[in-house]
Amino acid sequence: MGRAMIIICSGLIIALGYTTLGTNNQAQRLTNSNVGYANQMQAQNAAQIAIQVGIENINEDPAWVDAHDTVSSAWSDVINGANTQLWIEKVSQTTNDSGLQEETFRIHASATYDGQSATVTSLYEKSELHFVPEFKSVMSFSSGNFTFLMADSATINGSDSMGSCEDLPGIIASSSADSTEIVNNIGSGQLQGNPAIKVDANTSYSSYGELVDYLETMPEVKHLNGNYTGTLGDSTSPGVYFVDSPADIQSDISEGYGILIIQDDGKLYYKGSTDIADKLTFNGLVIFEDAWDFRADNTPSIAGSVVLGNTGSAPTLDIVLDGSISINYDCNAQKYARQASALIFDQDGFRRIVTFE
């Protein structure tokens, strides 16, 4: 009996010995596997960082793409100890509805760290930044701090003059009370659109206010004052114009393109003759910030969208549309506004479409 026990115990001891040896081997394999996995993750992270570096380089210098558009001309560097390479494949180049350039790139990055390699491929779309919100109406009121009057043959029309875009509301107001104020004071003017007037409680001036703040700091914008005899851009080179003091636009300037911003004490007058051919037409976005004063002796018109907004504790906006002033929707105007803003900012935005690892 005792002998049998010894044999069994010896066998048990031997079995445990093999188990211990097997566990040690497995632990070593797990350690090696963990190290390999960690190294591969290090390589993968380096490849992802390389893609971000590549995007920054493209943003600073668009020609950087052409310098590294093949495997043989790949950009290389050591990132966090990993040997890294990157090259860029051009997929497409198009012009979007705003007339701005869009490019699609396939960015290939590979990295090796301590014997482990990783490859990351990302598809990115690059487009010119403009920060101009989509036109929602011909005229929008984001604040109830205003009085409104239409008279004579003044018109607001939300039907697209080109017939190629969806018609917009003539006016968007932020409350029913504002809508009532407008409807009760249309007078002899004409208000049309789809619908003529719409109430949207979510209407806000904040995005336009931010746009104005951004543009105001840029040296490329023009400030109009006094007797202005310069240009107001054209359809191929629209501009951004600030009016923050009284300005007289001379009658030989018949058209303007881009973004027109009238602020605080800004007053814009148009000195035209009695000849209707001499009227001023501004194509694009017109922003009245804490101000409304757009007077004319002739027949000025705005083709696009007008936004009125208050900042802080600004005084009441007294809005008077009289004479033959006309504000009509033209979907090309949004394009001119976005092109003008993009030319000023001169920055690209990147949107990642998909990434393969």
Please report the pLDDT score of residue 32 as a whole number: 52
Nearest residue to 165 (alpha-carbon basis) of 200, 203, 194, 206: 194
Indicate if the pLDDT at residue 104 is higher than 90. yes
Residue 134 forms part of a structural domain: no
Residue 284 forms part of a structural domain: yes
Please give the Cα distance from 298 to 270 (Å, whole number): 7
Please give the Cα distance from 65 to 264 (Å, whole number): 45
Please report the pLDDT score of residue 268 as a whole number: 56
Indicate if the pLDDT at residue 246 is higher than 90. no
Residue 17 forms part of a structural domain: no
3-class state of residue 63 by DSSP: coil
Say whether both 152 and 260 belong to one domain.
yes
Domain that holds residue 241: 139-344
Using pLDDT thresholds of 50, 70 and 90, give the confidence band for residue 280: confident
Residue 5 forms part of a structural domain: no
pLDDT, greater one: 18 or 49 = 49
Q: Give bridge partners of residue 95 from the DSSP assignment.
A: 101
DSSP summary character for residue 62: T
- The tens digit of pLDDT for each residue in 327-350 reads 999 989 999 999 999 999 988 889
Q: Average pLDDT for residues 127-136, to the nearest whole number?
A: 92
- The tens digit of pLDDT for each residue in 183-194 reads 999 988 899 999
Please report the pLDDT score of residue 29 as a whole number: 52
| Tally of domains in the chain | 2
Distance of CA 193 to the CA centre of its chain: 27
Please report the pLDDT score of residue 56 as a whole number: 93
Cα distances (Å, whole numbers) of residue 92 to 124, 204, 349:
11, 36, 16
- The tens digit of pLDDT for each residue in 40-62 reads 999 999 999 999 999 999 988 98
Residue 350 forms part of a structural domain: no
